[in-house]
Amino acid sequence: MRHTLPIAPQFYVTAPQPCPYLQGRMERKLFTALQGEHSVALNDSLSKQGFRRSQNVLYRPSCADCAACLSARIRVAEFRPSRSQRRTAGRNTDLRRVSGRAWATEEQYGLFRRYLDARHAEGGMADMDVFEFAAMIEETPVRSTVVEYVRPGRGGRGGKLMAVSLTDVLDDGLSMVYSFYEPDETARSLGTHLILDHVAMARAQGLPYVYLGYWVPGSAKMAYKARFDALDVYKGGRWQDIGDPVAHATDSHPLAVEPIVEQVANISLPDSRASRQAPRTARPGHPLRKD
């Protein structure tokens, strides 16, 4: 009798470093490599358990004495935009959505630099150069797409790139891996618009969720995510409605996180019968195209 064994990746833990969201705390991540013929199945499975993708790595916060970071996703079928969000959508009806393969361009990098300099000048990505940017966009072993939002020029010619989202297509939703936008267009609320449009795309494709990354109670940078309707957070090993956001506030405590061994033992892995897809890699040569 043949038995199908589960995919068994190796998991590792990063060294502690200052938390970018909560002052005075240290962050640590549990991570595994995303490579080989089972990459798609592994990404789908671990995304449902609070993991996020960064290039060829899947990671989840595993801080020694804090469990504040909660993976968040929108339940597409139940989502209803607020009055403010409807106004945001109305202000951006002139933008044209263009979806394509995960390929970096000079125009994207220019927008990315303006966004970082204005919004995250002290963040961990502030020194990212053009080659690192190209790797962030292009090094993906799963189904990924770059969604651009363009303000058309006069007569419909040309146009200005206003926002970009690197998005993974999972078996149960769209995962917004990383987004950036024109920082001077504050009246447009482009960050909110990107999420609203991804909800619309997921609904059109019959996908039940839009994954937003991590929501951190007490972090002003992450507060906007809690303003979306039908929001789930991954907490205590399961997805649950966010309820009252204030109720999720946590204090740093040495017993807030399970030991690493227990965390790994509780991860559900896909088996080798899962769908297979050959990994994609960036093309050699200059890191950015001019289109």
37-63 tens-digit pLDDT: 899 999 999 999 999 999 999 999 998
Task: Tell me the C-alpha to C-alpha distance, in Å, between residue 50 and each of 122, 131, 232, 237, 257.
Answer: 26, 28, 11, 9, 14
Return the bridge partners of 175, or none.
168, 211
Which pLDDT score is estimated for 35?
A: 87
Q: pTM here?
A: 0.89
Cβ atoms < 10 Å from Cβ of 43: 26
Which pLDDT score is estimated for 273?
A: 59
Which pLDDT score is estimated for 276?
A: 47
149-177 tens-digit pLDDT: 999 987 666 789 999 999 999 999 999 99
Model confidence band, residue 282 (pLDDT cutoffs 50, 70, 90): very low
Angle at the Cα of 51 from the Cα atoms of 67 and 250, rounded to 5 degrees: 15
Q: Which of 52, 56, 33, 36 shows the shortest CA–CA distance to 44?
A: 52
Return the bridge partners of 150, or none.
96, 161
Angle, helices 106-119 vs 130-138, to 10°: value is 110
Round to the nearest angstrom and report the end-to-end CA distance of the chain. Answer: 55
- Class at the top of the CATH hierarchy for domain 11-265: alpha beta
Higher per-residue pLDDT: 153 or 12: 12
Which pLDDT score is estimated for 252?
A: 62
pLDDT, mean of residues 196-220: 95
